[in-house]
Structure formats: structure tokens, C-alpha cells
């Protein structure tokens, strides 16, 4: 089996995922994913597509993460892994889609407008 690559995004985080058959190691930026994501919740987010499709321990996953915070990076990695699994077998798509793992979360930070201190905040009004 050749290496399958997919892209996952969330907010400003970008995850490039490379999937190949192996013994189940997940490497993020040349570090083990449990070292990269110290909390159990973030580790679960990364493992979720593999657990739902019963592929734990079947594939080696190498992820290059860039940008965003740790939560956005974990969710970007989850989307990338889900997309890579769908390339391997199209039967995984309905399982992952039912749990909402195939949808890119479109929420982004609203930009700051000119003449204002923030996106929505206005300067304090002074009558006199």
C-alpha cells in the first residue's frame, strides 16, 4: 500500500496527514502524539476516526501540523485522518459523516474593522 495523504483544517490550523499500513504509530511534527497533545481529551480527538472505523493499530500516521492553537490543531488532525481513511475505503464515509467528522468547521475569527478597537467593539461614546 502506498502512502495516502490528506489535508485537514480548523480555524488557522492546517494538518497534512500521511497514512500508510503499519502498526498504529501516530507521529505529529516528529513527536509522539501523546507527547504533543498532553491531555486525554485532545488525544481522544486525534484517535476518534480510527476507533469509529475499527482501524486502531492498522496504520502508521505521520502528521505535519502548522498554525492555530492546540484544540484547533487536534481537530484539524482529526479531519485529515478522516479524509485519508475515506480514500482507503469509501465504506467508512457514512460512519464518519454520522459523527460529524467529515465536515470542516467553518468558524473563523472575525476580522478587525478600521476605526474600531476590535471586530464588533466600538470606541466609547462621549456626548461632550
Q: Dihedrals φ, ψ of 70, to 5°?
A: -70, -35
pLDDT per residue as tens digits for the range 93-126 = 999 999 999 999 999 999 999 999 999 999 999 9
Distance of alpha carbon 106 from alpha carbon 82, whole angstroms:
17
pLDDT per residue as tens digits for the range 30-87 = 999 999 999 999 999 999 999 999 999 999 999 999 999 999 999 999 999 999 999 9
What global pTM score does this model have? 0.90
Distance of alpha carbon 46 from alpha carbon 79, whole angstroms:
9
Say what the pLDDT of residue 1 is.
73
Domains of the chain with CATH codes: 4-98 (3.30.230.10)
Q: In what order do the strands lie in the sheet with 59-66?
A: 4-10, 13-21, 59-66, 26-28, 31-32
Amino acid at each position: 500500500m502506498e502512502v495516502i495523504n490528506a489535508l485537514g483544517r480548523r480555524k488557522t490550523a492546517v494538518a497534512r496527514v500521511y497514512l500508510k499500513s503499519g502498526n498504529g504509530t501516530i507521529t505529529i511534527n516528529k513527536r509522539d502524539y501523546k507527547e504533543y497533545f498532553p491531555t486525554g481529551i485532545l488525544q481522544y480527538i486525534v484517535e476518534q476516526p480510527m476507533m469509529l472505523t475499527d482501524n486502531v493499530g492498522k496504520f502508521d500516521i505521520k502528521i505535519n501540523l502548522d498554525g492555530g492553537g492546540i484544540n484547533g490543531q487536534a481537530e484539524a488532525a482529526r479531519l485529515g485522518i478522516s479524509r485519508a481513511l475515506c480514500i482507503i475505503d469509501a465504506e467508512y464515509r457514512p460512519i464518519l459523516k454520522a459523527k460529524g467528522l467529515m465536515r470542516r468547521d467553518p468558524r473563523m475569527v472575525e476580522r478587525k474593522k478600521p476605526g474600531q478597537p476590535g471586530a464588533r467593539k466600538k470606541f466609547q461614546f462621549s456626548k461632550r
